[in-house]
Structure 1
């Protein structure tokens, strides 16, 4: 078999632009996922608040129990049936973000619950409110324990972002498929796409490893 990477070299500008869109979608979805995950994770800590706990639990069950691709299709192809037209980029971001947020919430909840309850009691004995204890005592310690599982979730989010190409978003995968439709060199193009995703996940892995080492060795600075 003869390999021909000339379509990849000729289309590097389109692939670079697609990579930029992939990074933008992933970064924005990451912010959505972390924000929603933090709120939902904290909301599930107190079963006594039945309404809040029930809503958060239902959200996690719904988004973890259904495929991401189906959720993206509902946002982009399903909502127009109810007269709700959303931009493809927004559907990709909100779909990825809410899906990731369900998993982040479990990471947040588990990390917070792993902190000894006595620290909360000690903070409240010093006059702190539960919210202040959570913000100044519990969360800073929990963040260190969140980093390894969050790293796995961030990497999964980068790889899952390839699905947004099905929403007509001109991300890396979409641009690669356009090159394939003209050149018919699918193996070479998909191999180049795989290398780009590998580099993106590698950068995230190194950054999180550095953060984990700093926080783990010297505490929060």
Structure 2
């Protein structure tokens, strides 16, 4: 079955795969950092009593979660220039991943925040803390501790979704496999190598998720008011 499979071609293209892997890792890290920022802002807006903040946040989360990432990516890539905003492909890709994952992360963080006992929030109010101070010192630190495993799960999804950036010519891991497939007419070699690298990334992130879950089991839980 593997008699026509060319390992030599894979070895020749390993520098290109290595560069694509490096690009995938750093753009995924930037996108995840942006998604965290977007998620925190959306949660803060969603928890505001004023509908002026709450409704736009809810509408954005619903719109992002109801539409495919590919449609969002193409909207930003082809739509922004029509509006006068011309951005590099990498910036468009990071923006698309950040906004898409940010909507999901907002729901993860919101669930973590709702798991915090109401008495702790009331104690912060009784102590004279403002909303921002309660978020910074009471709610968010505990919410992040609870949401670390699902956040890492979302990070795994983001890394896999980054493969779509090859469609806008971003030189990431999947693009390297596409070049091997088109240059040498070897799709099996190209895409099986892509799958192997993504498998390595998956097990690396899965290991981090397992370590975080183990740390959470050992970490002392705060008392409830």
TM-score range, shorter chain: over 0.9
Do structure 1's residue 195 and structure 2's residue 202 form an aligned pair? no
What is the aligned partner in structure 2 of residue 171 from structure 1?
172
In structure 2, C-alpha distance between the alignment counterparts of 1:25 and 1:49, rounded to whole Å = 35
**Aligned positions of 1:115-194 closer than 5 A:** 115-194=116-195
- Counting matched residue pairs gives 219
In structure 1, C-alpha distance between the alignment counterparts of 2:139 and 2:108, rounded to whole Å = 14
Q: CA deviation at 1:216?
A: 3.7
The answer as to whether partners of 1:17 and 1:171 remain within 8 angstroms in 2 is yes
Q: Which runs of 5+ in 1 are unaligned?
A: none
What is the aligned partner in structure 2 of residue 17 from structure 1?
19
In structure 2, C-alpha distance between the alignment counterparts of 1:56 and 1:95, rounded to whole Å = 17
Q: CA deviation at 1:158?
A: 0.4
TM-score, normalized by length of structure 1? 0.93
Provide the secondary structure at the position in 2 that maps to 1:74: helix
Q: CA deviation at 1:129?
A: 2.7
Do structure 1's residue 111 and structure 2's residue 106 form an aligned pair? no
The answer as to whether partners of 2:163 and 2:174 remain within 8 angstroms in 1 is yes
The answer as to whether partners of 2:153 and 2:209 remain within 8 angstroms in 1 is no
Q: CA deviation at 1:219?
A: 4.2
What is the aligned partner in structure 2 of residue 39 from structure 1?
41
Q: CA deviation at 1:208?
A: 2.9
Q: CA deviation at 1:144?
A: 1.8
The answer as to whether partners of 1:44 and 1:53 remain within 8 angstroms in 2 is yes
RMSD: 1.5
Q: CA deviation at 1:124?
A: 2.2
